[in-house]
């Protein structure tokens, strides 16, 4: 007799069926996919039992190769082999053309906002290249688990901006993946270590990969992972170590630096590959021999660990500067930190471990393979989000790395969501019109810590139209910022009296430049005093112009009727005095001029008020209002 499966309407007939989920670490140098099976996290290998997938794609005339097969072409055919694609995600064409790391590529010169690389298989974007890597990892997971994935969690650097996160989601969609969440890499590492250790406290996650660096401070408390502060550089990683070593090799060989060899991509790739091998070798031994035999370069030499450390020390120090800023943001000291987690293959470099240990005054944790720890955390989170652990108490609280706001009058940046705010989050603020009869408002969304829009990064622009004509200041326009769990932003504006609204899904066409990422936070602190003085000046200038416009409108309406010639002359003199001072770079003088004008207008303002009251009361008596009140 067959057994019937009975379920409530809308519910699964197999309530205990395990859903297939995976965590993906989409890395600069290598990528990895992991899953939870029988309560344990496993990284999934390919048919040759290799767990790490090189993040390399070769575009041949007849086939596209991904991973180890593509890696073989990186030296012999660099024009058609894309490496370190993660560093291209969300970036503009100018940024890539100015970066020596991308000199081996030929970029299409067209009007596309997304840079496209010319290959023999056609033009491809960074999104499409990343999609090939993700699709390969998906196939590996499907083949191992025996079924289609219900969802994945993909990790991204904490310092990826909105454009870079959106590009990652677009790549996943192109690969046919259902993204449950984008998870910051340091947070994923904390999940992996936090669940294993089971101890509450403050953790620093130092994540140095092939192309990006993140430092995050997290507090673990009863299953809640809260990011207190985050920082870093999305254009600093092991690739930069390789370039420093590569430049040394060329100098020893009597040649110019890598940047001058753009026309010889084979030379660049070969030198960088030898530099990487030397770096990895020096993590195990005190010195290593280098022998390069390619067209244009024949050199043999020895690189010692001490020499390599001297070459990369400035880069390591840059990461420690970011650590210092983040600790200041989190308002903590070394005494507050319980553990320091090392994440990313570049943390195998002994100098990195030594300097990080000295900086935090403790021995960093390296018990989980730094190449696998991020994928491990992502797999654990995917297992929860897909529904395999409905009673799991794990909660992740990420933060946004840079403040978000809009431009206001005078070119000021009004912050609506401040940096290090926990996400997901929605915040709103009311604004109003500047001029009488204003029926539209241009909304400029910006990102950054400075007080002036010119010093921040523009994210998007849109317009709110259909505002009913009203006097200046009467309209109530609510601007709402919503940042989802993936760190993606939606901005909406609504005029509350009429109900008209508009919104924009912020998808900028390019990411932050290398220089912007490194300097935005530092500049906000270095120029904090100057910024506040500039903000005060702009606010006074806006206030002055608003006062002048209101005065001119009033005088045009009833100035001749309510003012004597002498009174009007006095007011006009005060008006001219304010007009003469408005463009001076002195907020106090503008403020004094506004007060002087207001003082000279007191009698006029009182007469206007009395005149308006008489107009309203005409034909009525006080008794009428008293009776209505009763």
Q: What is the domain-level CATH number for residue 603?
A: 1.20.1270.10
Task: Please check whether residues 219 and 96 belong to one and the same domain.
Answer: yes
Q: Does 587 reside within a domain?
A: yes
Q: Does 622 reside within a domain?
A: no
CA-based nearest residue to 470, from 498, 503, 500? 498
Residues ≥6 apart with Cβ < 8 Å to 128 = 171, 174
Show which of 491, 526, 561 is a domain's final residue: 526
Task: Please check whether residues 255 and 330 belong to one and the same domain.
Answer: no
Alpha carbon distance 39, 292 (integer Å): 48
Task: Please check whether residues 53 and 166 belong to one and the same domain.
Answer: yes
Show which of 500, 526, 552 is a domain's final residue: 526
CA-based nearest residue to 431, from 475, 462, 491? 475
The SS3 assignment for 34 reads: strand
Structure tokens belonging to residue 342: 């090392």
More confident residue, 140 or 218: 140
Give residue for tokens 């997901």. 424
What integer pLDDT is reported at residue 457 of this predicted model? 77
Average pLDDT over every residue of 291-316: 89
CA-based nearest residue to 205, from 34, 369, 361, 356? 356
Structure tokens belonging to residue 91: 């970036």
Phi-psi region of 520 (alpha: psi -120 to 50; beta: other; left: phi over 0): alpha
Task: Please check whether residues 498 and 560 belong to one and the same domain.
Answer: no
What integer pLDDT is reported at residue 394 of this predicted model? 54
Q: Which of 24-28, 184-188, 207-211, 529-533 has the lowest mean pLDDT?
A: 529-533
Alpha carbon distance 417, 414 (integer Å): 9
CA separation, residue 166 to residues 31, 309, 478, 571 (Å)? 19, 36, 26, 56
Structure tokens belonging to residue 388: 């395999």
Phi-psi region of 420 (alpha: psi -120 to 50; beta: other; left: phi over 0): left
Catalytic residue set: 25, 86, 185, 207
Alpha carbon distance 57, 83 (integer Å): 7
Give residue for tokens 């690739």. 239
What integer pLDDT is reported at residue 410 of this predicted model? 74
Give residue 296's pLDDT band: very low, low, confident or very high (50, 70, 90).
Answer: low
Task: Please check whether residues 587 and 439 belong to one and the same domain.
Answer: no
Cα atoms in the Cβ-side hemisphere of radius 13 Å centred on 356: 28
Q: Does 242 reside within a domain?
A: yes
Give residue 196's pLDDT band: very low, low, confident or very high (50, 70, 90).
Answer: very low
Alpha carbon distance 313, 547 (integer Å): 57
Alpha carbon distance 111, 109 (integer Å): 7
Task: Please check whether residues 229 and 247 belong to one and the same domain.
Answer: no
What integer pLDDT is reported at residue 53 of this predicted model? 95
Alpha carbon distance 105, 80 (integer Å): 8
Give residue 17's pLDDT band: very low, low, confident or very high (50, 70, 90).
Answer: low
Give residue 113's pLDDT band: very low, low, confident or very high (50, 70, 90).
Answer: low
Domain count, the chain: 4
Alpha carbon distance 249, 301 (integer Å): 8
Q: Does 6 reside within a domain?
A: no
pLDDT above 80 (res 628): no
Q: What is the CATH number of the domain that holds 459?
A: 2.60.34.10
The number of beta carbons lying within 10 Å of the beta carbon of residue 30 is 20
Q: Does 7 reside within a domain?
A: no
What integer pLDDT is reported at residue 165 of this predicted model? 85
pLDDT in tens, 150-180: 999 999 987 787 778 888 988 998 899 999 8
The SS3 assignment for 155 reads: strand
Task: Please check whether residues 374 and 489 belong to one and the same domain.
Answer: no
Alpha carbon distance 458, 27 (integer Å): 27
What integer pLDDT is reported at residue 391 of this predicted model? 53
Q: Does 1 reside within a domain?
A: no
Q: Buried b / exposed e across 97-131, counting CB within 10 Å, b at 16+?
A: eebbbbbbbeeeeeeeebbbbbbeeebbbbbbbbb
What integer pLDDT is reported at residue 223 of this predicted model? 63
Out of 32-46, 188-202, 596-610, give the one with best mean pLDDT: 32-46
> Are 432 and 476 contacting, i.e. CB atoms less than 8 angstroms apart?
yes
What integer pLDDT is reported at residue 222 of this predicted model? 65
The number of beta carbons lying within 10 Å of the beta carbon of residue 252 is 14
Q: What is the CATH number of the domain that holds 250?
A: 3.90.640.10
The SS3 assignment for 205 reads: strand
Task: Please check whether residues 85 and 63 belong to one and the same domain.
Answer: yes
Q: What is the crossing angle of helices 350-360 and 305-330, to 10°?
A: 40
Give residue 453's pLDDT band: very low, low, confident or very high (50, 70, 90).
Answer: confident
First CA to last CA distance, the chain: 83
Show which of 493, 526, 559 is a domain's final residue: 526
What integer pLDDT is reported at residue 397 of this predicted model? 57
On average, the pLDDT of the chain sits at 81
More confident residue, 517 or 260: 260
Q: Does 629 reside within a domain?
A: no
Strand partners, 297: 294
Provide the domain limits for residue 107.
21-237+311-399
What integer pLDDT is reported at residue 104 of this predicted model? 73
The SS3 assignment for 172 reads: helix
Alpha carbon distance 117, 119 (integer Å): 6
Torsion angle defined by CA atoms of residues 573, 576, 580 and 586, in that order, rounded to the nearest 10 degrees: 70
Q: Which of 75-89, 263-277, 391-405 has the lowest mean pLDDT?
A: 391-405
Structure tokens belonging to residue 163: 């454009």
Looking at the chain, the whole-number percentage of residues with pLDDT higher than 90 is 23
| Three-state SS annotation for 206-229 | EEECCCCEEEEEEEEECCEEEEEE
The SS3 assignment for 84 reads: coil
Task: Please check whether residues 555 and 575 belong to one and the same domain.
Answer: yes
What integer pLDDT is reported at residue 510 of this predicted model? 39
Average pLDDT over every residue of 186-198: 70
pLDDT above 60 (res 125): yes
What integer pLDDT is reported at residue 91 of this predicted model? 76
What integer pLDDT is reported at residue 152 of this predicted model? 95
What integer pLDDT is reported at residue 435 of this predicted model? 77
Give residue 520's pLDDT band: very low, low, confident or very high (50, 70, 90).
Answer: very low
Task: Please check whether residues 177 and 114 belong to one and the same domain.
Answer: yes
Task: Please check whether residues 371 and 225 belong to one and the same domain.
Answer: yes
CA-based nearest residue to 208, from 320, 309, 89? 320
Q: Does 15 reside within a domain?
A: no
Alpha carbon distance 82, 66 (integer Å): 10
Task: Please check whether residues 172 and 297 belong to one and the same domain.
Answer: no
């Amino acid at each position: 007799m067959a057994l019937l499966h009975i379920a409530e309407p809308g519910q699964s007939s197999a309530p205990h069926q395990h859903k297939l989920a995976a965590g993906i670490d989409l890395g600069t140098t290598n990528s990895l996919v992991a899953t939870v099976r029988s309560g344990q996290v496993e990284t999934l290998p390919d048919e040759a039992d290799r767990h790490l997938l090189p993040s390399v794609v070769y575009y041949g005339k007849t086939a596209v190769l991904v991973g180890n097969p593509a890696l073989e072409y990186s030296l012999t055919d660099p024009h058609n082999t894309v490496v370190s694609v993660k560093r291209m995600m969300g970036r503009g064409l100018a940024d890539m053309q100015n970066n020596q790391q991308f000199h081996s590529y030929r970029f299409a010169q067209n009007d596309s906002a997304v840079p496209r690389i010319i290959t023999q298989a056609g033009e491809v974007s960074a999104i499409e290249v990343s999609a090939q890597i993700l699709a390969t990892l998906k196939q590996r997971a499907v083949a191992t688990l025996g079924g289609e994935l219900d969802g994945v969690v993909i990790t991204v650097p904490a310092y990826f901006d909105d454009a870079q996160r959106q590009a990652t989601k677009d790549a996943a969609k192109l690969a046919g993946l259902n993204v449950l969440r984008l998870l910051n890499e340091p947070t994923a590492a904390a999940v992996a270590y936090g669940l294993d250790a089971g101890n509450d406290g403050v953790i620093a996650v130092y994540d140095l990969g092939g192309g990006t660096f993140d430092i995050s401070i997290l507090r673990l408390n009863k299953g809640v992972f809260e990011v207190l502060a985050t920082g870093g550089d999305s254009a600093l990683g092991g690739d930069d170590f390789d370039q420093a070593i590569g430049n040394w090799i060329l100098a020893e060989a009597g040649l110019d630096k890598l940047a001058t060899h753009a026309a010889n991509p084979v030379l660049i790739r070969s030198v960088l590959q030898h530099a990487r091998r030397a770096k990895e070798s020096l993590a195990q031994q005190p010195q290593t021999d280098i022998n390069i035999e390619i067209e244009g370069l024949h050199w043999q030499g020895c690189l010692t660990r001490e020499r390599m450390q001297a070459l990369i020390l400035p880069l390591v120090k840059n990461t420690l500067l970011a650590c210092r800023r983040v600790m200041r943001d989190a308002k903590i000291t070394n005494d507050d930190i319980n553990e320091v987690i090392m994440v990313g293959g570049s943390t195998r470099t002994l100098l990195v471990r030594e300097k990080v240990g000295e900086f935090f005054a403790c021995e960093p944790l390296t018990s989980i393979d730094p190449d696998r720890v991020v994928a491990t955390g992502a797999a654990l989170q995917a297992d929860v989000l897909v529904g395999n652990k409905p009673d799991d108490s794990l909660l992740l609280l990420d933060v946004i790395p840079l403040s978000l706001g809009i431009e206001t009058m005078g070119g000021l940046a009004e912050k609506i969501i401040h940096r290090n705010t926990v996400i997901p989050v929605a915040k709103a603020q009311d604004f109003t019109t500047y001029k009488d009869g204003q029926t539209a408002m241009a909304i400029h969304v910006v990102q950054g810590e400075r007080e002036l829009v010119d010093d921040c990064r523009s994210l998007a622009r849109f317009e709110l139209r259909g505002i009913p004509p009203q006097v200046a200041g009467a309209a109530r326009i609510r601007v709402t910022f919503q940042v989802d769990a993936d760190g993606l932003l939606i901005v909406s504006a609504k005029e509350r009296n009429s109900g008209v609204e508009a919104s924009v899904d912020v998808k900028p066409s390019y990411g932050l430049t290398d220089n912007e990422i490194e300097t935005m936070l530092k500049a906000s602190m270095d120029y904090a005093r100057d910024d506040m003085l500039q903000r005060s000046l702009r606010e006074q200038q806006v206030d002055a112009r608003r006062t002048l416009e209101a005065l001119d409108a009033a005088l045009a309406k009833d100035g001749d009727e309510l003012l004597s010639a002498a009174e009007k002359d006095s007011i006009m003199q005060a008006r001219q005095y304010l007009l003469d001072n408005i463009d001076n770079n002195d907020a106090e003088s503008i403020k004094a001029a506004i007060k002087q004008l207001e003082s000279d207008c007191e009698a006029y303002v009182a007469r206007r008020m009395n005149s308006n009251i008489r107009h309203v009361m005409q034909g009525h008596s006080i008794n009428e209002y008293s009776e209505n009140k009763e």
